[in-house]
């Protein structure tokens, strides 16, 4: 059973006890007490009546912690903490080796406690705070072969979602109880899927500002947003692939839908760098690991055109509509090892205009439409507007991309610098301008917006972008109510 573990970083005993109580209330199955944060050695009071297992950790400054004492002092404190209670002691393998004969003090403490009937364990750890070593399994081998290690812990820093694969491989193949983590925002999958791979534990934080390592999710996020309680070895994996994806609300929406459906899957964020080569490497990584249980991906900026290139290069199926648009926003992984690609943006755009602005296909015919952007979503917008015979003009920062897109679908284009002179009745933003975190940006000068203009922003985080706010302000200035389509 993988224990969801809350890291406790409070500096005082009374505050640490409050945090432990709060962590248990929020669903923590274990707590890690960071002694290098704690300004007291009153360990007995700290863990008195704690209802969940406890990990004692004293991380040295050379290993990303706050303790700057000798390794002998480190051994002394861990042994003393274990004597008062708790279930694990965690020490860096490098420090363990430096301790030499001094290790016996901690080992003797463990033996005595086991003789008394306490099931205490020693975690030996390896951390790399700069990167995810390609040879992480090799780095773990000396720890695995160390007889004193009851649990092997390896941690690297994820620069890309593909770095999670290194952790998954380690957890799957470890011959000892193991903990594997990819730190940083790109490593979220390693924290959530630890339970699928039956890791000894994974870490979360009570609140975002109390994190003990980069990329830790809160307990609430793990349980509510990522369905922690339902994950098991059979859980299937889906997600959104893009760059950036930190802003994405897709996991919340999909995971709640899975809950409602009773569907044993979890939906994650995969931040993959913006080149085709990075995208292809990640998809290859999923295909090479059928045991991961990958079932599909939502594809967002900048990978929609990369997806169709990958499918065509490998002889996989692309739906006729996605072929026509030249972009894929949905990848499906059938059990036979193949891939299929689809585009649902096209239908979403037409349905949004019909339901929010009252414009069906017939009503869109001949309407003047300005499309901002030339990426995957803009291709779907232009394809949809051209199909209903709207009067479309494309604006994009890269002039050649705007021209090529316009020529491909038989519409017009204009220079990005002239977007503030547009006279269209319908304005659709297909760029990332205004997306979180740059929420104050607007893709056009607000003076372009006029009462009666229909403004459609494909960004949904924030729900009310600066563009939509400016459109509403323009509608109010025109003296008429703001409708859902404004």
- 114-133: pLDDT as tens digits: 999 999 999 999 999 999 98
Q: Domain containing 66 — which CATH number? A: 3.20.20.70
pLDDT in tens, 63-117: 989 999 999 999 999 999 999 999 999 999 999 999 999 999 999 999 999 999 9
At 49 the pLDDT is: 92
- 349 in a structural domain: no
Tell me which of 343, 367, 384 is where a domain ends. 343
Claim to verify: residue 305 and residue 414 sit in the same structural domain: no
Claim to verify: residue 29 and residue 136 sit in the same structural domain: yes
Claim to verify: residue 472 and residue 327 sit in the same structural domain: no
Q: How far apart are CA 162 and CA 385, in angstroms?
A: 36
At 137 the pLDDT is: 81
Q: How far apart are CA 451 and CA 473, in angstroms?
A: 9
Helices (H) and strands (E) in the chain, counts: 18, 19
Claim to verify: residue 163 and residue 226 sit in the same structural domain: yes
Paired residues of 368 in beta bridges: 391
Claim to verify: residue 325 and residue 378 sit in the same structural domain: no
401 is catalytic: no
List the domain range (segments joined by +) for residue 211. Answer: 3-232
Type and span of the H or E element at 125: strand 121-127
Q: How far apart are CA 79 and CA 400, in angstroms?
A: 67
Type and span of the H or E element at 131: none
At 139 the pLDDT is: 86
Claim to verify: residue 91 and residue 171 sit in the same structural domain: yes
- 348 in a structural domain: no
Output helix, strand, coil percentages for the chain, rounded to the nearest 5: 40, 20, 35
Q: How far apart are CA 153 and CA 140, in angstroms?
A: 8
At 486 the pLDDT is: 42
Claim to verify: residue 174 and residue 72 sit in the same structural domain: yes
What's the number of CA atoms in the CB half-sphere (13 Å) around residue 60?
20
At 461 the pLDDT is: 85
Tell me which of 207, 232, 257 is where a domain ends. 232
Claim to verify: residue 265 and residue 406 sit in the same structural domain: no
Q: How far apart are CA 58 and CA 51, in angstroms?
A: 22
Which ranges of the chain have pLDDT less than 50? 479-486
Q: Domain containing 264 — which CATH number? A: 3.40.50.10860
Measured in residues, the chain has a length of: 486
- Answer whether the bond into residue 302 is a cis peptide, omega within 30°: yes
At 482 the pLDDT is: 42
- 485 in a structural domain: no
Claim to verify: residue 286 and residue 269 sit in the same structural domain: yes
Claim to verify: residue 81 and residue 196 sit in the same structural domain: yes
Say what the pTM is. Answer: 0.86
Tell me which of 212, 232, 252 is where a domain ends. 232
Among 116, 210, 304, 423, the one annotated catalytic? 304
Claim to verify: residue 333 and residue 362 sit in the same structural domain: no
Claim to verify: residue 195 and residue 135 sit in the same structural domain: yes
- 484 in a structural domain: no
- 120 in a structural domain: yes
User: Could you write out the DSSP letters of every residue in 255-324?
Assistant: HHHHHHHT--EEEEEEE--SSHHHHHHHHHHHHT-GGG-EEEEEE-TT-HHHHHHHHHHTT-EE-HHHHH
At 436 the pLDDT is: 86
Q: Domain containing 391 — which CATH number? A: 3.40.50.720
How many domains does the structure of the chain reveal?
Answer: 3
- 29 in a structural domain: yes
């Amino acid at each position: 059973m993988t224990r969801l573990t809350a890291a406790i970083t409070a500096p005082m005993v009374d505050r640490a006890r409050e945090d432990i109580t709060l962590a248990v209330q929020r669903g923590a199955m274990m707590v890690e007490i960071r002694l290098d944060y704690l300004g007291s050695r009153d360990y007995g009071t700290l863990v008195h009546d704690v209802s969940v297992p406890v990990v004692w950790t004293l991380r040295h400054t050379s290993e990303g912690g706050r303790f700057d004492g000798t390794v002998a002092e480190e051994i002394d404190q861990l042994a003393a903490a274990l004597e008062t209670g708790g279930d694990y002691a965690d020490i860096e393998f490098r420090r363990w080796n430096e301790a030499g004969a001094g290790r016996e003090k901690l080992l003797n403490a463990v033996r005595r406690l086991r003789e008394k009937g306490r099931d205490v364990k020693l975690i030996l750890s390896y951390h790399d705070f700069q990167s995810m070593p390609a040879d992480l399994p090799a780095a773990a081998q000396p720890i695995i072969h160390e007889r004193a290690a009851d649990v092997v812990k390896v941690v690297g820093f994820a620069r890309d979602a593909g770095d999670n694969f290194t952790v998954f491989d380690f957890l799957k193949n470890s011959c000892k109880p193991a903990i594997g983590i990819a730190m940083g925002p790109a490593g979220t999958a390693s924290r959530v899927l630890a339970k699928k791979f039956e890791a000894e534990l994974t870490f979360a934080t009570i609140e975002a500002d109390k994190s003990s390592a980069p990329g830790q999710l809160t307990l609430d996020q793990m349980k509510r947003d990522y369905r922690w309680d339902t994950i098991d070895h059979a859980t299937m994996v889906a997600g959104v692939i893009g760059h950036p994806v930190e802003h994405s609300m897709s996991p919340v929406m999909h995971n709640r839908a899975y809950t409602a459906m009773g569907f044993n899957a979890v939906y994650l964020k995969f931040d993959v760098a913006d080149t085709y080569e990075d995208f292809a490497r990640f998809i290859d990584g999923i295909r090479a690991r059928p045991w991961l249980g990958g079932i599909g991906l939502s594809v967002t900026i900048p990978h929609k055109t990369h997806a169709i290139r990958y499918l065509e290069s490998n002889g996989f199926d692309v739906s006729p509509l996605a072929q026509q648009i030249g972009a894929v926003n949905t990848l499906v992984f059938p059990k036979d090892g193949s891939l299929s690609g689809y585009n649902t943006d096209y239908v979403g755009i037409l349905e949004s205009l019909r339901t929010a602005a009252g414009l069906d296909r017939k009503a869109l015919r001949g309407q003047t439409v300005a499309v901002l952007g030339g990426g995957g979503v803009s291709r779907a917008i232009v394809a949809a507007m051209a199909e209903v015979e709207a009067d479309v003009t494309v604006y994009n920062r890269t002039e050649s991309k705007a021209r090529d897109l316009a020529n491909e679908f038989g519409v017009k284009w204009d220079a990005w610098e002239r977007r503030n002179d547009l006279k269209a009745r319908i304005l659709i933003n297909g760029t990332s301008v205004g997306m979180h975190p740059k929420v104050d940006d607007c893709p056009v000068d607000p003076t372009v917006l006029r009462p009666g203009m229909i403004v459609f922003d494909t960004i949904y985080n924030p729900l009310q972008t600066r563009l939509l706010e400016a459109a509403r302000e323009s509608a109010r200035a025109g003296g008429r109510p703001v409708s859902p389509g404004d």
